[in-house]
Structure 1
């Protein structure tokens, strides 16, 4: 990315942002940098301490006179006096060591209600400015939030800036916060050289010593920000309120690679959705569905095309009250679901499938509530079709569609058992699904089609310690490849990518860092395998031995889904923000909040 010359000192940090956001930082940096002053952590001070001998010299106190000179005073006193008069005596010169101030710089931010809005952009700009000053001086920068536990963070990625932005709270700094940070900084192995406090009304620090105070406040008319620095002296600068569109992007954490063009207006707001159930993605990657929190049904969003001008389509699809959704899926172009009650399994919005008696737990183990969705794959062609479902105990069952033609075998309106000990099931190509089952100490992969034809087994390796399978989708009708998960002793994930083109062999082993988990496997033409990774507030991809962040979120990721057919990823954050991302295109398709609550009509029992 080409930067103007005035921004070159901060290029290591500005590469995290989109080009259209750089003018905002150019204005902030140009006004704030001159008032910060030099880094005190490099200044020498205190009383120098002796550190051995440095040299011999002609002057000095007689307690440091050489011993040979004292011998001369005993043997030849006149010569001793002569040398003293003309300054020829030799004295020992000690070596002194000057005190070096600590190079640890700590910045503590007030994330309370007085610092909401544009003040948070000043926080972000100050953190980058101080990071550059610390790097130039060979110092170490660490930052923390006053309202949080005393934990210091580095600034080595855009995710750290997002953590700063997401730390906003409606708590003000109280005595307990000051005491906790005072004890935390005193317990640091290295003493703090500079301590910066950034916020508003931070005068009473309850014993926490600081070298710099930065007061950030909005003017009474709301048109400007005032930044006052108190250190050895006092300096003040006035900042204009940034452009609202760019400021909103930054406050939402929309940085480089994830800045989304303004989304088309929706036909109404997206209703509140459940945070305990993952989104459901269509095989073509054109629709996303989520379980509604206040109504018995799913909300379906049609993803906008690139540069789409018309409003986004949002539809509420409702089922009968009292039904529990076990496995929603896009059956063809429409959203359907397997629903359960006390006695029956019903197939909502799935033409050709009729209700059946609920199987016993030994035949099909179904969850009692909506703690999770079961893996499901709906397959059909011009003459037949089947719906496959994998339960929590590895039982793979299916139901046959009624086509109205010749009698189907096996019979419709019955639950049929296919196999046991299945680890994973996914739709991978057109009307083909893939599953991996355990046979003894080996894992075997199969494909199945709408007619129920199961392919010959393909050996994909040892079954010991394997707990999860990911499939590559959308490339070939027969089995392509898969990734197998094992957990190491430190609970970090280790993935083994296996090619299954007739002779199984390990192609790649990927060990993930703590806190990351694999959620998808991709293989584009003439490209190496890529493993899609999910962190607490980030999505990354492991490609050619390197881990690259695709995008980060402002809030913690609550649920996620990945479609191997289309390569579309959907994540739902703790604030019910939905982000839909196309991994092959490296493109954010949609970003919206799902928080609209129904309201009750006055004088009725109806909710709208």
Structure 2
């Protein structure tokens, strides 16, 4: 790789990045390098060792006397004695080498929510500077995470750099975190030479354990970063905000030739509404969104891995005057429940007949299109049912007509399954799960396409529970497959994860930091631990909380206005304020799609120009 001469000192680490990312680091390295100051002196220690011959001298033990002097003792003994008396003999003097203590430069990084985004890139640049600093001094660089248990890592491969980027948590740094590291560092003395702690709102430290403090934070106008280094004096420098596209690539770990490029489009995606959630097919193959300028939905087929053909985009329209109450997929086919003044009709749902609009006491449906109602559509070769949960906890369904048996519910009618329902989701291909409140207690059930309801499974007290998330799992076929219950305390979300009966841990309480929100519950097949999908307070990051650890999955340039999670496919679909759609697979830890949905129809463009 050809590097400018100014970047040659950091070639070893810059080779991990693709050429287009280098200007970002060139700017950061150039601004930060003069701030670091001299290295603290390396101490000498231990007993000196001989290291060959160094010189000749007039004094010394006679076992080191020059051989030529011993010749005088044999040939001219009087001269030998004279030289001995006046100190003229020559002795060999050995060269001594002093031991240098094994010195470490330790960098402890704040991986909490205050350092999300551009601050993490400053961490990378500072680590490269300190790695070079250690190399020049014959020392070693090690890094750790302040919020983690004391453990140090090397920085000699790009994989370790990606490990650093993935080491994120929603916890801010507290006194207890620093005290744990301080005790550990004291045990390493005298091996640690410099100790740097880097972050924002750092705890108080002593000069003996911590030699350098670095505060990184955004300016009040959000247009720059402030880098403040505290040693014996305080030094400050203002850093420009990095290019958003390059910054996102780096924060997602897309470097070392692994930059992901969105597939080419076969035309543009129509402008979509920012008030309605994206709808994800349970098979993980399609995503649908409500179009803003037309009466219908746009459906995008998610590209396969290494797909080269253009992206498949389709528009589905319905009649003007019909309002979509909810939208769902059956496999890859999109369907919707539409409402007009008198009827509910089932668009693109074969076997379901239109019904008279139910009385609000029977089924309370929203008058506008502010949100899609929870829905699940089950269908097999002999029967089918569409389940819908209204705003008052009434769970209704409509049946597909498959015969004249009086035991089967009639098509063309709205049927009530139960009341007091607080959550509904499709959890297997053939079953729907729901939780109902009965007498102040919560019970979980599942139901199939024939209407067969499973026995009740008690999951807790209903008081204070405002939302339920379901985990998709084959365990629902037998009994209970797991869910999470939300309660809000002092503005912070607390989730109680209720596991399936055969899991080793039956209940886990997860207290989220302020502003974080739970989006979905994931249980991968063969695993016994549930993972909670989270949205960050600034609505620009999606994270995964699992087994006490939090991992940031991806970030966006603009705030996310609507985010959907599908427990069956494990897909997250996020729609940002810039109408950018990002689809991410949580099980595969990979981005499936990134596309802008902002194409305005030609007729509207012509009208605006006129």
The TM tier, using the shorter chain, reads 0.5 to 0.7
**What whole-Å deviation, never above 9, does each CA across 1:514-569 have from its counterpart, x for those lacking one?**
11111111122134211111111111111111111111111111101111111111
Picking from 237, 252, 265, the partner of 1:196 is 237
Equivalent residue, structure 2, for 1:593:
596
What is the TM-score normalised by the length of structure 1? Answer: 0.65
Report how far residue 425 of structure 1 moved.
0.6
Instruction: Give the paired residue count.
Output: 441
1:200-599 equivalences in 2 (<5 Å): 249-250=245-246, 252=248, 255-257=251-253, 261-403=260-402, 409-476=408-475, 477-501=477-501, 506-524=506-524, 525-535=526-536, 536-599=539-602
Equivalent residue, structure 2, for 1:51:
none
**What whole-Å deviation, never above 9, does each CA across 1:470-500 have from its counterpart, x for those lacking one?**
1111433234433333334321111111124
CA distance in 2: counterparts of 1:604 and 1:28, whole angstroms: 42
SS at structure 2 position matched to 1:250: helix
The answer to whether the 8 A contact 1:531-1:543 is kept is: yes
The answer to whether the 8 A contact 1:336-1:350 is kept is: yes
CA distance in 2: counterparts of 1:148 and 1:372, whole angstroms: 32
The answer to whether the 8 A contact 1:25-1:125 is kept is: no
Cα distance change of structure 1 residues 507 and 573 upon mapping to structure 2, 3 Å threshold? same
Equivalent residue, structure 2, for 1:95:
none
The answer to whether the 8 A contact 1:481-1:497 is kept is: no
1:97-116 equivalences in 2 (<5 Å): none
**Are 1:142 and 2:216 counterparts?**
yes
Equivalent residue, structure 1, for 2:65:
none
The answer to whether the 8 A contact 1:466-1:484 is kept is: no
Report how far residue 143 of structure 1 moved.
3.5
Cα distance change of structure 1 residues 139 and 254 upon mapping to structure 2, 3 Å threshold? closer
Cα distance change of structure 1 residues 564 and 154 upon mapping to structure 2, 3 Å threshold? farther
CA distance in 2: counterparts of 1:485 and 1:8, whole angstroms: 51
The answer to whether the 8 A contact 1:459-1:504 is kept is: no
Equivalent residue, structure 1, for 2:78:
none
What is the TM-score normalised by the length of structure 2? Answer: 0.64
The answer to whether the 8 A contact 1:496-1:506 is kept is: no
Gaps of 5+ in 2: 1-6, 40-116, 131-195, 199-210
**What whole-Å deviation, never above 9, does each CA across 1:252-303 have from its counterpart, x for those lacking one?**
5563346762232222111111111000011100000000011010000000
CA distance in 2: counterparts of 1:601 and 1:30, whole angstroms: 45
The answer to whether the 8 A contact 2:504-2:528 is kept is: no
CA distance in 2: counterparts of 1:515 and 1:601, whole angstroms: 39
Cα distance change of structure 1 residues 23 and 266 upon mapping to structure 2, 3 Å threshold? closer
CA distance in 1: counterparts of 2:517 and 2:121, whole angstroms: 32
Cα distance change of structure 1 residues 529 and 321 upon mapping to structure 2, 3 Å threshold? same
CA distance in 1: counterparts of 2:605 and 2:8, whole angstroms: 62
The answer to whether the 8 A contact 2:120-2:251 is kept is: no
CA distance in 2: counterparts of 1:460 and 1:381, whole angstroms: 30
CA distance in 2: counterparts of 1:561 and 1:576, whole angstroms: 15
**What whole-Å deviation, never above 9, does each CA across 1:111-139 have from its counterpart, x for those lacking one?**
xxxxxxxxx99x99778657868869613
Equivalent residue, structure 2, for 1:82:
none
CA distance in 2: counterparts of 1:138 and 1:432, whole angstroms: 58
SS at structure 1 position matched to 2:17: helix
The answer to whether the 8 A contact 1:40-1:193 is kept is: no
Gaps of 5+ in 1: 44-119, 156-191, 200-215, 217-241
Report how far residue 409 of structure 1 moved.
2.2
The answer to whether the 8 A contact 2:227-2:237 is kept is: no
The answer to whether the 8 A contact 2:225-2:238 is kept is: no
Report how far residue 587 of structure 1 moved.
1.2
The answer to whether the 8 A contact 1:291-1:298 is kept is: yes
Per mean C-alpha deviation after superposition, the further-off stretch among 343-352 and 596-605 is 596-605
SS at structure 2 position matched to 1:290: strand
Report how far residue 374 of structure 1 moved.
0.4
Per mean C-alpha deviation after superposition, the further-off stretch among 450-459 and 469-478 is 469-478
CA distance in 2: counterparts of 1:5 and 1:601, whole angstroms: 54
Equivalent residue, structure 1, for 2:142:
none
**What whole-Å deviation, never above 9, does each CA across 1:422-464 have from its counterpart, x for those lacking one?**
0111111111101110111211111111111111111111112
Cα distance change of structure 1 residues 439 and 30 upon mapping to structure 2, 3 Å threshold? closer
1:17-32 equivalences in 2 (<5 Å): 21=17, 23=19, 29=25
The answer to whether the 8 A contact 2:398-2:415 is kept is: yes
Equivalent residue, structure 2, for 1:204:
none
The answer to whether the 8 A contact 2:424-2:433 is kept is: yes
**What whole-Å deviation, never above 9, does each CA across 1:323-355 have from its counterpart, x for those lacking one?**
111110002431000011111111111111111
The answer to whether the 8 A contact 1:517-1:534 is kept is: yes
Cα distance change of structure 1 residues 254 and 276 upon mapping to structure 2, 3 Å threshold? farther
Cα distance change of structure 1 residues 8 and 483 upon mapping to structure 2, 3 Å threshold? farther
